[in-house]
Amino acid sequence: MIYRERAWWDSSGLPRLGYIVPRLNRAELLVHHTVTIDPDPSPLVWETDQEIKDHMLRLQTIRPDLDLDIPYNFVAFITPTGLVICEGRGIDRTGAHTHGHNTVGLATSFAGNFEAYGIPAGWVVPELNQWFRYLKILCVNLGPIYGHRDFAQTACPGNNLYVTKPFWSWAPVEEDDMATLDADDLQKIEDLFIRVLRSEASGEFDVGGMRKDVKAIKAAPPGGISVAQLEASLAKKTWR
């Protein structure tokens, strides 16, 4: 997992929107999807940094009715080497994503359309859980994890993502229990991926090759961040 601060992608000059929310007031995690996809044969997999930057800028202005900023606190991109989490409004600001839950909730939105396409690899959920664990350390009162559809008449975050909800967790991982999810869990998740990327058939994208060993992710995440690094990163920035 890689965490990208707003300055990494935001060349727009547009201000960060939302009101400041004390971290102790955060009680819910929310999962969304953006519906927008990567326009290539692997619509849920973002291959390059430039694709991610361009897409963040697009999301910033795509819904003027929700004002000119990313409506989510964070946006998650599935890449060939793991999740890239981009700071949207950030950890300290209200969002504009879920009526009634924009202050109490911290929203992470997956870039993609998970109603139309399936999650490409089993490691996505363990990495998402790792991200939730980071947020739980920083916002200690975080409680349940919801999908947008739990609160509104919407398909969001897409059925193929929502079916993995029973596996979402910020629960700490024991030192010798290297993954929140064991091999059986991972198999169950993969069995849920009925509508796997059509690119699998074209050979454009190697689903098997993307499946990572969770133990390896935990031990040495490629380009990974430590909690201390993330905390230092998140501690300073959402005030302007």
Q: What is the torsional sign of CA 107, 178, 1, 141?
A: positive
* Residue 153 vs 236, nearer CB to Zn ion: 153
Closest CB to Zn ion among residues 121, 156: 156
- Least CB distance to Zn ion at residue 147 (A): 8
Give the integer Cα–Cα distance in Å for 23 and 19.
12
32/89 with CB nearer Zn ion: 32
Q: What is the Cα–Cα distance from 178 to 202, expressed in whole angstroms?
A: 34
Given candidates 4, 16, 26, 32, which one binds Zn ion under the rule CB under 5 A?
32
Using CB under 5 A, which residues numbered 41 to 80 contact Zn ion?
none
Rounded CA-CA distance 6/118 in Å is 28
Stretch that binds Zn ion, among 32-40, 68-76, 78-86, 174-182 (CB under 5 A): 32-40
| Shortest distance (Å) from residue 35 CB to Zn ion | 8
C-beta of residue 17 within 8 angstroms of C-beta of residue 132: no
* Least distance CB 131 / Zn ion (angstroms): 17
Specify which residues 28 forms β-bridges with.
Answer: 105
| Shortest Å, Cβ 156 to Zn ion | 3
**Would you give the binding string for Zn ion spanning residues 126-165, x where CB under 5 A is met?**
----------------------x-------x---------
Residue from 81, 86, 122, 96 nearest 30 by CA: 96
- Residue 80: closest CA among 209, 213, 220: 209
Residues at the contact surface with Zn ion, assessed by CB under 5 A: 32, 148, 156
